[in-house]
Each structure stands twice: as structure tokens, then as C-alpha cells.
Chain A
Amino acid sequence: MSRSADPRADIATERGAVTLQAVTKRYGDQTAVDALSLDIQPGEFLSLLGPSGCGKTTTLRMIAGFEHPDEGDIQISGRSVLGTPAYRRDVNTVFQAYALFPHLTVAENVAYGLQQKRVPKLELRERVAAALEMVQMRGFADRKPTQLSGGQQQRVALARALVNRPAVLLLDEPLGALDRQLREEMQLELKLLQAQLGITFVFVTHDQDEALSMSDRIAVMRDGRIEQLADADTIYARPASAYVAAFVGQQNFFDGVVAPDGAGVDSPRAQLRPATPLSGFAAGDAARAAVRPEFVELSADRPSGNVNIASGDVIGVSHLGEMLQFLVQLDEQTAVLSRRPTPDAPALSVGDRVWATWRPDAVQVFPAGDAAARSGYVPPPTAAQISDP
């Protein structure tokens, strides 16, 4: 970070940057955030993704100023904010349960931050009206929050934060309380809004779809650390660990050992061969291979070749809308999930004997013994969706 002659120029050019340096937060003997370092670019949409208890909300609350790190430094727009109380930080938060003030109208809720900054009344009215316009809530200005639906409250909470033109907007699972359709709508709107305003968004979620659809970059968190920080494509296609692979999207895992020639993984039911030979593994090492369900093709006739193939019985077919999902049992402990686009899906039904194949470039290999990764070939949520004929 360069220090130019005029410090204000520095701030101006870096407004919206957030830097976390080896930030640690402990509660008693529990470490919620463990030496976490993260650089967020100005204007970036960054998601903190992880299961509950991974430290993502604590990280957000430390940026907001509601929690204070035990170690490390947090900088906003190039300046350390460790000594800055929440009410003086150039950030605003959209809270999980919205936290709208029930005794104030929608307009008064949105005006609250501007009133604290003693913005002149005329400008205040215009900015409040514009902010409500932006979230299409102009017609509800004089209602109380209790008279609004969840989606409307969500919009008001967004306007209440954005009207202050913060350097960084923090969003703490803001879509969690909305139903699916509304959530997908809001995902699009949020992304558009962020692109329009150019404000840095730090978005906390446990929902992989949300993170994948909106983020410039995703930080997948686990036990207070960042497991992988990358854009959505990389996170999905080249997960850094079996944990990330299992958390983002769904996976078929095959546990086995590295083949003698180092070309792939041999598991009891299939030999998996990625496009390029493994590096960093020795023959005989325990390893875990992963293939995403959308890469698994099914056919009734045996295809040629001996690798990247497995045979079994169809035990479940379910309709996911644009996809059909097949569950194929290889043996008593092992099943493989396959998803095919509905128009091209093979005409298979429960009880059919099939062959499952996948391309070499669909195979990912990770070291075995990643205890936190979900074990088994089919992640639990998918198994629950399977229709029972």
C-alpha cells in the first residue's frame, strides 16, 4: 500500500477496499476465526460461504465493528479500524432478520442513518425518496415495517443501508428468510444493484447457489479459516479440497488407493483416471476421487474401455425440472448419482441394469482422510430427494 503525499488521495482511490490481516477471534477456548487473512477489492462482490459455525458471521461482525478481533488487523479503505467504533465506520449492514425499527415508518427507517449524519432536511428527503425508488418501495414510505411482507422488509433494509452510500455493504444471510422464488429474484436484483453502485459487497451465506450466482469471488470457510478463495468457476470446477468439493455442488466420491502407475485412483467398484496423471501422490496412497453428477452418463449397453466406468442398478429416478436425476446402486454401500438434461435423458426406469461412465477431465482427486468432507458417494440431501416407486 503506497503512501502518497496527500493521504486523502490514498483513501479516495482505495475506498471500499477491505483488508483482514491474520485476524483471530476467540470465545473462551473456542477459536471462531483463526488467523484469517483476506483482501477484498473495492467494488467487489465477495461471498463468505460455509456451514454454520465456520466463522463467517463473526468475520462480518468484526468488519462491522460489533466484535473485536483478539489478534490481527482490519483495514477499511486502507485504514485500520481497530479503534473505530461501529457507528463511525464507513460500512453498513443488512441484517439477517432485517432489524427494522418497528416504531418508525419505512421512510423514517431509511432516514435514520442520514439523520445521524445531520444531513440537511431537503437533501435527506430527496435521498430517502431516491433510495426507496431504487428498491421499488417508494409507495410504502409511510407504512410501518410490521405492515410489510418479508421481501418488502428486505428491500427496506437494503435501502436503509445503501442510502448512506457506505464504502462497504455487509450482508448477513439477507435472503435466508425469503421463499425460493423471491430469493432468486432478489439474487438477481442484488447483483444488478451492486454492479450499478460499484459498492463493495461482503455477503455471508451458507447457500452455495446464492454464492455461486452472485459473487465475483467466493471464500469457502471452514473452522475459522478460508479453505479456498476463488471465483465461482474455479470453486466449482477445481475445488482445492474434498471439503470444498463436497460443500459446493454435489459429488460422487470414490475412496481408494493411487494406482501403481500413478495415473488415477483404484476403488473397489471403479478405476478413476483423470485427464492428467496425479502429482503429489505416491502409488498406494489412500485417495478420494470425485465426479460431479452432471458428468455421469448412463447407458444400457456396455461402452468400451475399462476405466471411468461402473455398473449397477437404477434404484431411483427423480425429476428436478430441467434435469432428471438417477441414482444407481453399484453395491450395497455404493451408489452413484447422475444428472442428465431432461431432453437428452436416457429412458431408464427403476430396476434397469446400466453402465455409468464419465470423462477423464471430470475426475478430481484429493488426499484421503479429509475427516470433515461428507463421506459416502451420495451427499445426504440428494438421497432424500429420491422418489420411491
Chain B
Amino acid sequence: MRNLRLPGFALAIPAWVWLAVFFIAPVGVVFWYSFGYKPGLFGTHANDKLSLDRYLEVLTPTFFDTFVATMWIALAGTALCLVIGGPVAYWMAVKSPPAWRGLLLALVLVPFWTNFLVRTIGWQVILAPEGWASQAAQAIGLPAFDILYTRAAVLLGVVYNYLPLMILPLYVAFDRVGEPLREASRDLGANRLRTFWRVTLPLARPGIIVGVLLVYIPLMGDYITATVLGGAKGNMVGQMVAAQFQTAQNWALGSAMAVTLILVIVLSAGVVGALLWLVSWPMRRANRLVLGEVGS
């Protein structure tokens, strides 16, 4: 036994096998189906003739509109989670009394103790025309509001469901910057705001990217929140993909939609990333300092 030495990657083998069998292979199958067609009323898919026709079907105006609506919800939902979750995570990691932090983290995770679907249906009760929210609004003299089955309700549900996924990586990111570096920054004449822009934010960037992707990617494919709270108006791509597989039994078209969704997610994340990089370029340029031959 003493001579048995496994290579370093051995520990990662189970994870890789799992990923290969349950993630990469199914995606490959979906990719393959997307080039096929639906053979008659009772078949789900066939691949004896390959074509890109399903992708042309995906690009019809109905699908396109739903894609745009989905992206709008996903982008707005991610942005809202960042705007709401960012300050919370910052406060937890930097300002809150250290003794509270474990409890605060537990509180963020409390919603996860309840089933996702049940939590979302709970909002249905609250937002119904005769629900608490409406009654509370009327009680303080506001008009009754009825936002169930609108995009606003979907957005509300989305932020509620995905906020913890944003807060947790952001908390870790802000926490890891550490008080000594913030003190060093203040010692060198930067106030709190400047310290945040020049030290905390750049160092927390990997965590922020993780949080954004962790919310944005599942959100693009989520259809439970949209179905429960948005009704017909909350139509999202995830719903359409599910409908093709379950109701229409057209696996080929469903696969083409799924592949298109994956491509759109990757592309849109890339575009947003590139835009942010471009926008922050002047600031990075202003603070960059390469000492050439000055003074030497």
C-alpha cells in the first residue's frame, strides 16, 4: 500500500465521470436531436435525415418574441438581484458585527428549506387580487393592485427565488478582501467610496461574476416562476422547450430551441462582459502605471 500513489487528478475523477455521463452526454444527445425531425403524429424524433430546418423554425417571430421577453426578464432579474443583493452582501461581510455573520448566512439560506415550487405558489396567494398585498395597499388608502399574471409578478418572483444565489458568492467575495486592505487604502488617503471602487470592487470581481452567472444562467432556463406567476404573459423560453418535449412531443424542435438557448446564454454573457470591460476601461487606464525609464 505504501507504494500506491495516485496521480493528483485522481480525486477529481468521480466528478468528471458524473459530469460526462449526466451532463455532457445528454447535451450531446440534445445537440444531435436538434438536426432531426418529428416523424409523424406519434413519433418524437428521428435522425435519418439531417437538416438545419428546426433552427429555421426556432427563428420565427413567435419564438423570437419569447426569446426577447426571456432575456429581458433574465437581465432585469439579474440586475435587480445584483442591486438588491450587493449591498446586503457588503453589509454582511464588512459592516455587520462578526458574531452575527453565521446567523445572517443561515437566514439567507432559510428559503431553501422550502420547496421551490411551494415558495413560488406562495407568492400567488400573496399577489392574488384579494391577497394580502392588495388588502394591505387598500388598508393604507392605495388602490387595489392586481399584478398576478403580469411580468411584474414574474420579476418579483424571480428576484425572490434567486436572491440568495447572488448574496452568497458576493458575501464570500467581499469577505475575502479583508479589513487590512481597506485600512491600508484609507491610510493612503482614500475615503470609503474611493476604497470601494479601487480596492473592494476589483478584488471582489470574480465573486461578482460568479453571482451574476449563477443567477442569470438558471434564470434563462427557468419556467416554473414564469408559469406560476406570469400565466400566459410570463411566457419564457424554458416553458416553450418543456412544451415541445411534453405536450407537442416534438423532441427535434425542442432540442433546437434548447441548443439555441444555450448559445444565446453564452453569447449574451459574453456581450455583457465585454461591455462592462469596455465601460471600465477609462478608469483602469487612469490608474494604470507602468514605469518606463522615468527617473532611472
Contacts and interface: CB of A to CB of B under 8 A. Distances in A.
A65 B288 CA distance: 28
B247 interface: no
A46 B260 CA distance: 69
Given A138-B296, A160-B188, A95 B290 contact: no
Contacts, number: 90
B294 A116 contact: no
B199 interface: yes
A95 B183 contact: yes
Contacts of B288: 108
A92 B188 contact: yes
Contacts of A129: 291, 294-296
Which secondary structure dominates chain B's binding surface? helix
B295 A99 contact: no
B291 A88 contact: no
Nearest to A96: B180
B274 to A, nearest CB: 20
Interface in B169-187: 180-181, 183-187
Interface stretch (B36-44, B56-64, B189-197, B225-233): B189-197
Contacts of B290: 105, 107, 141-142
B76 interface: no
Q: Bin chain A's interface residue count.
A: 35 or more
B3 interface: no
B269 interface: no
Nearest to B293: A129
Nearest to A138: B296
A132 B194 CA distance: 24
B203 interface: yes
Interface string A230-269: 0000000000000000000000000000000000000000
10 contacts: A86-B187, A87-B189, A92-B187, A92-B188, A95-B180, A99-B181, A108-B289, A111-B289, A129-B294, A161-B187
Given A87-B191, A105-B289, A129-B296, 14 more contacts: A87-B188, A88-B189, A93-B183, A100-B184, A103-B203, A108-B289, A112-B185, A116-B188, A124-B289, A125-B289, A126-B295, A133-B296, A138-B291, A160-B188
Interface of A: 64-66, 85-88, 91-93, 95, 97, 99-103, 105, 107-108, 111-113, 115-117, 124-126, 128-130, 132-133, 138, 141-142, 160-161, 164
